[in-house]
Structure 1
Amino acid sequence: MDPNTPPQPSKKLTRRSFLKKAAMTTAGALVAAPAAYSYARFAEPKWLDINEVTLTSARLPKGLDGLRLVQFSDVHLGFHYDAPALEQLAQTINGLNPEIVCFTGDLVDYAVGQAGGAYVKALSLIQASVGRYAVLGNHDYFNGPNAVEKVLNSAGFKTLRNAGVRVERGGGAMWIAGVEDQWHGKPNLEKAMNGAASEEFTLLLSHCPDFADEALKFPVDLQLSGHSHGGQVRLPLYGHVVTPKFAQKYVIGRYELGEGKLQLYVNRGIGVSQHQVRFLCRPELSVFTLRKA
């Protein structure tokens, strides 16, 4: 600053200017709040995120190297999601050319009801060259899990309730295990692993992601889960606001447990529950490519 330049008078915040700025800030907030709600209510729940993920494992057999697997979860049919929307989702899944499709629970929000036939038709459209597998979620138990299991099985999925199956491809094999819901079912991973070889690459389907702490006790390589919806509403610099029981520890995305022994992926789900909103937490299709390390 030039020493010969006289100092400028400081600008004082007058009451009038303060009220003007406060009014502008308030007006901006009033405009932003409805816009944010409209986005969360009408836009984001329909804005599907197709998330490509590569997972590597030294235990994966060479014959399964490059296997392409699609996971979807938490459809919540009957709560702002219907059979035509499920048919559209099926076509999207088919466009991803999956070899295996895994569904990780909460097909319905409360009950199958009279739309069961339409749900079977929509799910039957999903194509996978190696196989389609499913587990039940907590909402699937609300009005009887057998009805939901019947829909899935009738559509060509193999529903794994404390059960497992060996899957072969390209001369390689892996074990796919599925457990009952941790909240309303009686998960028994020991039973689901019956028949699996200890050296065999094992994929576990569990609706609840926090079951991973139990899975660590077994030779499980990869667990796919849903349930959390990723929080459904996430705030900048804060993350999820709330998650349900058994999705408190592992909420969204990929985790490594037991020094890399177990990889866990938590899918954000397709539908919504309780509140028809999503914010900074788009619905997700997970597309995995399995690679031998």
Structure 2
Amino acid sequence: MSRRQFVLGSTAVLATPYVEKVVRPKGGTWEFEISRVDVALRGLDPAHEGLRVAQLSDLHIGPSTPDGRIIHAVRMLEREGVDLVVLTGDYVTNKGDPLERVQELLTGIHIPAFAVLGNHDHWTAPAYLRQGLERANITVLQNTHTVTRIRGAPLTVLGVDDARSGHADVEATFRGAPTSGSRLVLAHTPITADSLPESQGLLCLSGHTHGGQVYVRGITERVYAALDSPYVRGRYDLRGNVLYVNRGLGYGRGGRKYRIGADPEMSIFTLRRFEA
């Protein structure tokens, strides 16, 4: 059995989260789904039992993504009462996109927020996009970590830079970081999860795949596995850690860019302490 067959056949266990579709009253192309996922983690600080983390990914701001979808997702964050927001890359697609809109659309986030860059960000204007995110009060992590206090207890956020564009450095990200307690890993490219320290009870949040964009169960997984990207969507239990691949909010305006079987997604995680 090859490594990819093993991954697809055993370790890549897709979860079935509670999914709620959020639709504009009159319909429209900016609807998306909220996936609600409970995750039990070893080593989670007791103060973080029930902590709620929202993930936005692959916004691809520009002609292929309705601004209204992103605006509504940002507004939903406070309505949902989440404690922390993470953004996992690809805020634009190419240099022709309105790069200044990244800061404008995300400035409405008034909850502690952390981000990593994606491959399209690196191929476009990484320094400019990082600056825009930081001006929106979003902490950008590139192969580094930070410790923030939530509910009076420390939570370590580790941000691994994008692997697709060759910028990932897991060793540098974890260097000097706490080795216990509540820890959250951000990585745009899902395959990064294979390089994380084993059996640490880490939750790694990623995006990149758009859930397959055009998804046919069984076939899409095989195609991605053949491209050395076996993690397509949802939850995977890997080497003593948990990976979740968000389908992203971007793409899907009219007939220019579309999704089939892979609706846009915002995911909300409720963290639980693992009870052996």
| TM-score computed with the length of structure 1 as normaliser | 0.76
Tell me what 1:148 maps to: 129
For residues 81-120 of structure 1, what are the structure 2 equivalents within 5 Å?
Answer: 81=65, 83-111=67-95, 115-116=99-100, 118-120=101-103
Tell me what 1:34 maps to: none
For residues 217-236 of structure 1, what are the structure 2 equivalents within 5 Å?
Answer: 217=198, 219=200, 221-235=202-216
Q: 1:91 to 1:189 in 2, by over 3 A?
A: same
Q: Secondary structure at the match of 2:266?
A: strand
For residues 14-33 of structure 1, what are the structure 2 equivalents within 5 Å?
Answer: none
2:58 is aligned with 1:77:
no
Q: Is the 8 A contact 2:107 2:137 kept in 1?
A: yes
Give the Cα separation in 1 of the matches to 2:219 and 2:179. Answer: 41
For residues 239-254 of structure 1, what are the structure 2 equivalents within 5 Å?
Answer: 239=220, 242-243=223-224, 248-254=229-235
2:43 is aligned with 1:59:
yes
Tell me what 1:189 maps to: 170
Tell me what 2:196 maps to: 215
Cα deviation, residue 80, structure 1: 1.6
Tell me what 2:34 maps to: 50
**Greater CA drift, 68-77 or 269-278:** 269-278
Aligned match for 2:236, one of 243, 255, 267: 255
Give the Cα separation in 2 of the matches to 1:45 and 1:84. Answer: 9
Give the Cα separation in 2 of the matches to 1:257 and 1:244. Answer: 15
Tell me what 1:127 maps to: 110
Tell me what 1:138 maps to: 119
Cα deviation, residue 73, structure 1: 0.3
Give the Cα separation in 1 of the matches to 2:262 and 2:221. Answer: 9
The CA deviation string for residues 65-121 of structure 1, in whole angstroms up to 9 with x for no partner, is 1101000100111242254543232112332221100000000011375550x4312
Aligned match for 1:200, one of 142, 162, 181: 181
The CA deviation string for residues 183-217 of structure 1, in whole angstroms up to 9 with x for no partner, is 11421122212332222332110000011110145
Cα deviation, residue 132, structure 1: 0.2
Larger radius of gyration: 1
Q: Is the 8 A contact 2:211 2:247 kept in 1?
A: yes
Q: Is the 8 A contact 1:208 1:246 kept in 2?
A: no
Q: Is the 8 A contact 1:232 1:240 kept in 2?
A: no
Structure 2, unaligned stretches of length 5 or more?
A: 1-26
Q: Secondary structure at the match of 1:234?
A: coil
Aligned match for 2:142, one of 158, 161, 164: 161
Structure 1, unaligned stretches of length 5 or more?
A: 1-42
Q: 1:198 to 1:51 in 2, by over 3 A?
A: same
Q: How many residues align?
A: 246
Cα deviation, residue 292, structure 1: 1.0
Cα deviation, residue 254, structure 1: 0.3
Aligned match for 2:243, one of 247, 251, 264: 264
Q: Is the 8 A contact 2:221 2:230 kept in 1?
A: no
RMSD: 2.6
